């Protein structure tokens, strides 16, 4: 079966790493057609498009989207991130951001293996708020966090289903219920209600600040974590840092109901400082492509890619891609 992939290389090192990811997918024997979408900072500066409704409709026609990275120092921070990346997450209803972490934390004797399920369409990311008396000493700024029962429940249920299918069957809710009583209360009550449907899954709760300590000192306690959009954003950078570095951290932005394409991207950014140097590590993009293959039901190829990435490899961006490609092909 041929899979139809939209590729958004994006900014900075994005196009360099997505090229290696597609190379490895093909080497793994998966049949894909790719369509490149020229989106990101350079495109915006050229003709003003960030992501038009027309382009979004074209993206909807593909099976999946593979994205490199977005954001460039030439454009004000956030413009491309919100207009392209967050717009896709919202418009394509990619309500799960799944980020696996397999690695050995500094000083740890054994490898950990846990997954963060980050709610991806609500929380502070909805952009609700505004400024009054902007730029004056009396400026007021508000930034709301949106949490709906519907949005929280579908995310929590996804996390329970994932945990129920893993050997340890353990799910931890991470929030800040001691301070964010309204949002935290909704999360905790929803979590408890859904937990009743999954008696085979053991549960725990950590405040997000405590979770930061456990990520560094005791990541083995985790199997699956579910958390809100902003906590998940921050925690998954830390997850990358304790799992071999952000150059290995992969993610899946999922529409589990498959009412549109899901999007797969490395956790790292566009790294404009190293663009063109050939030093970007493509492994995070390659592992993101493996998550894409999981979702496309190409599990054997996905497992072979993960196994190939588990063995250390150094070298330039293309050398790393070539080495991994030759391993999955053999
Ligand atoms: C991520 C990124 C994005 C986010 C940025 C680029 C908007 O940091 O995918 O983790 O905050 O979600
Ligand atoms: Mn982030």
DSSP states along 43-102: HHHHHS-S--HHHHHHHHTSSEEEEEE---TTS-TTHHIIIIIIHHHHHTT--EEEEEEE
Give me the mean pLDDT over the 257-285 stretch.
96
pLDDT of 246: 87
Give me the mean pLDDT over the 204-230 stretch.
98
Strands of the chain (E only): list them. Answer: 3-10, 32-36, 64-69, 96-103, 112-119, 129-132, 140-143, 170-175, 202-207, 224-227, 250-254, 262-266
Measured distance CA(27)–CA(49) in Å, rounded: 34
Q: What is the mean pLDDT of the chain?
A: 96
pLDDT of 129: 97
Length of the chain: 330
Strands of 108-216 (E only): list them. Answer: 112-119, 129-132, 140-143, 170-175, 202-207
Tokens of 232: 């998940």
Residue 279: CB atoms within 10 Å: 14
Ramachandran class of 107: left when φ > 0, alpha when ψ lies in -120 to 50, beta otherwise:
left
Atom of ligand 1 nearest to the CA of 265: 9
Q: Which helix (H) or strand (E) holds 246?
A: none
Q: Is the pLDDT of residue 330 over 80?
A: no
Residue with token string 């797969």? 264
Distance 81 CA to ligand 1 centre (A): 7
Q: What is the pLDDT of residues 133-180, one digit of tens each?
A: 999 999 999 999 999 999 999 999 999 999 999 999 999 999 999 999
Q: Is 81 in the pocket of ligand 1 (CB under 6 A)?
A: yes
Tokens of 129: 């708020």
pLDDT of 148: 98
Q: Is the pLDDT of residue 36 over 60?
A: yes
* φ, ψ of residue 103 in degrees (nearest 5): 175, 180
Query: What CA–CA distances, in Å, run from 137 to 26, 65, 129, 143, 144?
Result: 57, 44, 19, 19, 22
- How far from chain centre, in Å, is Cα 79? 19
Ligand with smallest separation from the Cα of 86: 1
Q: Is 85 in the pocket of ligand 1 (CB under 6 A)?
A: yes
Distance 267 CA to ligand 1 centre (A): 7
Mutate to test the pocket of ligand 1, among 80, 86, 125, 272 (most ligand atoms within 8 A of CB): 86
Measured distance CA(23)–CA(32) in Å, rounded: 10
Atom of ligand 1 nearest to the CA of 89: 12
Measured distance CA(243)–CA(239) in Å, rounded: 6
Atom of ligand 1 nearest to the CA of 97: 9
Measured distance CA(56)–CA(84) in Å, rounded: 10
Q: Is 267 in the pocket of ligand 1 (CB under 6 A)?
A: yes
Residue with token string 């293959």? 293
Give me the mean pLDDT over the 47-57 stretch.
97
Q: Tell me what percent of the residues of the chain surpass a pLDDT of 90.
A: 95
Query: What CA–CA distances, in Å, run from 246 to 154, 282, 283?
Result: 28, 11, 10
Residue with token string 């024997």? 29
Residues ≥6 apart with Cβ < 8 Å to 125: 86, 89, 229, 230
Strands of 258-329 (E only): list them. Answer: 262-266
Give the pTM.
0.96
Give me the mean pLDDT over the 71-93 stretch.
94
Measured distance CA(28)–CA(21) in Å, rounded: 11
For the sheet with 202-207, list strands across it.
32-36, 3-10, 64-69, 262-266, 250-254, 96-103, 112-119, 224-227, 170-175, 202-207
Which 3 state secondary structure label does DSSP give 256?
Answer: coil
Query: Which domains can be identified in the chain, with CATH numbers?
Result: 1-94+255-330 (3.40.718.10), 99-244 (3.40.718.10)
């Amino acid at each position: 079966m041929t899979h139809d992939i939209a590729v958004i290389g994006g900014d900075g090192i994005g196009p360099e790493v997505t090229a290696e990811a597609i190379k490895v997918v093909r080497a793994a024997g998966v049949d894909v057609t790719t369509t490149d979408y020229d989106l990101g900072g350079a495109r915006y500066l050229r003709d003003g498009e960030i992501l038009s409704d027309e382009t979004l409709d074209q993206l909807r026609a593909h099976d999946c989207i593979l994205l490199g990275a977005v954001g460039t120092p030439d454009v004000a921070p956030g413009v491309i991130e919100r207009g392209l990346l967050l717009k896709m997450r919202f418009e394509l209803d990619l309500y799960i951001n799944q980020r696996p972490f397999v690695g050995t934390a500094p000083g740890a004797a054994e490898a950990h293996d846990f997954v963060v399920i980050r709610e991806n369409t609500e929380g502070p990311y909805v952009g609700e708020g505004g400024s009054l008396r902007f730029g004056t000493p009396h400026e007021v700024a508000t930034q709301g966090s949106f949490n709906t029962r519907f949005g929280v429940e579908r995310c929590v249920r996804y996390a329970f289903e994932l945990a129920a299918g893993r050997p340890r069957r353990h799910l931890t809710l991470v929030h800040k219920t001691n301070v964010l009583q309204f949002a935290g209360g909704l999360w905790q009550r929803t979590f408890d209600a859904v937990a009743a449907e999954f008696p085979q899954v053991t549960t725990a709760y950590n405040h997000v600040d405590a979770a930061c300590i456990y990520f560094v000192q005791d990541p083995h306690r985790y199997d699956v974590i579910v958390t809100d959009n902003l906590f998940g954003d921050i925690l998954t950078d830390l997850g990358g840092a304790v799992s071999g570095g952000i150059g290995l951290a992969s993610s899946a932005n999922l529409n589990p109901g498959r009412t549109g394409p899901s999007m797969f991207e490395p956790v790292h950014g566009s790294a404009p400082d190293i663009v063109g140097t050939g030093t970007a590590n493509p492994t995070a993009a390659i592992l993101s492509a493996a998550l894409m293959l999981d979702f496309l039901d190409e599990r054997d190829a996905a497992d072979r890619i993960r196994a190939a990435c588990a063995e250390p490899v150094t070298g330039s961006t293309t050398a790393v891609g070539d080495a991994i490609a030759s391993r999955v092909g053999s």
